[in-house]
Structure 1
C-alpha cells in the first residue's frame, strides 16, 4: 500500500516593524497585523487545518501565528522552535524529518530566505504556473505555499513534493 499524502504549508511571518534593536524581538507593524489575519482567512477558506504548527520563536512569527490562527475553525497544537529562526536549508529539512508520523497536515511559520528555499526545493512538480509565481514573487511577507508530500516525514528530501497552492496578500 502506498504512503498517505501529507501536506506542509509554509507561512512567512507578516510585515514586521523596524523599531526594535533586536531582530528576534521585532513585533509586527500595523500592516503586518492586517496581513496575518488575511493569511489565516486564506488558510481557512482553502480547508487547511493543521495537526501541528511549528513556529519560529521570533516575536513577529509568534504574533503572525496568533493572528492567523484565530481565523481557523479549530486551534492547532503549536510548538515554538528556536531552530526556525535563521534556519539553514538543511535545518528546515531536518525539522521536517523529525515530525511524528501521526501528523498529516503541518504548518511552519518562519522566515525568508529559508521558507522560499524550502518550497522551491521540495517542489519536484507544481500545479499550473505556481512554481513560476513563487519564484517571481520572492515569497513576500505573509505568503503561503502549500505542498503535498507522498512520503513519510523522515523521507522528506529535494523534489518529493508537489506545490499545490500559493498565495500572497494583496499589496
Structure 2
C-alpha cells in the first residue's frame, strides 16, 4: 500500500508588494501547522518522505511540521510543486522511489485540491493548513490512480 498526504501551506502574509514566491507564513500559520502536527502525532503517522515546494510559505510549513513531528530526515524541495499543473504534480508523485511507502507533499492550490478531487472525489474546501490522506492499494507509485485510491482522512489545524 502507498499512502499520500497532501498538505496545503499554512496561512500566508497578505503582502501584495512582495513576489508571490517570497511570501512568508503568518505567526497564526506557523501556530496552526504546529497544532496540525500534534493531531498527526496522535494518529501515529509514519512518514518516509516529505517533499515541499521551495516557495517561502511552503518551506516554512514543512520546517514547522518536521520540527513538531521529530521527522529525522531532510526535506526534499522540488521546484515543480510551485505552480504545478495537475499532470506535473502527478508525475512528481509517480517518480517517487517505491521504497517510500508514505509520502507527504507540501504545496499549493489549486493543484493540491485538484489532485485530491481526481484521486478520491474530495470536494470540500482545501484551505491553508489543511491536510488530506489518500491510500492506494498498490505497491508502486507508478500504479496510483483513481481506480485504487481511497480517502482516509481530512484534517484542519
TM-score bracket for this pair, using the shorter chain length: over 0.9
Query: For 1:39-58, what aligned pairs fall within 5 Å after superposition?
Result: 39-58=36-55
- Provide structure 2 residue ranges, at least 5 long, that are not aligned to the other structure: none
4+ long deviations beyond 6 Å: none
Q: Aligned pair in 2 of structure 1 residues 159, 139: CA closer, same or farther (>3 Å)?
A: farther
How far is the alpha carbon of 1:73 from its aligned partner? 3.9
How far is the alpha carbon of 1:75 from its aligned partner? 2.1
Structure 1 residue 61 and structure 2 residue 27: aligned?
Answer: no
Deviation by residue 1:83-135 (Cα, 9 ceiling, x = unmatched): 000011001110111000100100000001111111111116xxxxxx4xxx2
Question: For 1:141, which of 114, 124, 128 is the aligned residue?
Answer: 128
Structure 1 residue 164 and structure 2 residue 140: aligned?
Answer: no
CA RMSD in angstroms, aligned pairs only: 1.4
Contact 2:8 2:127 survives alignment (8 Å): yes
Question: For 2:142, which of 147, 150, 154 is the aligned residue?
Answer: 154
How far is the alpha carbon of 1:22 from its aligned partner? 0.6
Structure 1 residue 17 and structure 2 residue 5: aligned?
Answer: no
Contact 1:93 1:157 survives alignment (8 Å): no
TM-score normalised over the length of structure 1: 0.85
Contact 1:12 1:111 survives alignment (8 Å): yes
**Matched residues, number:** 155
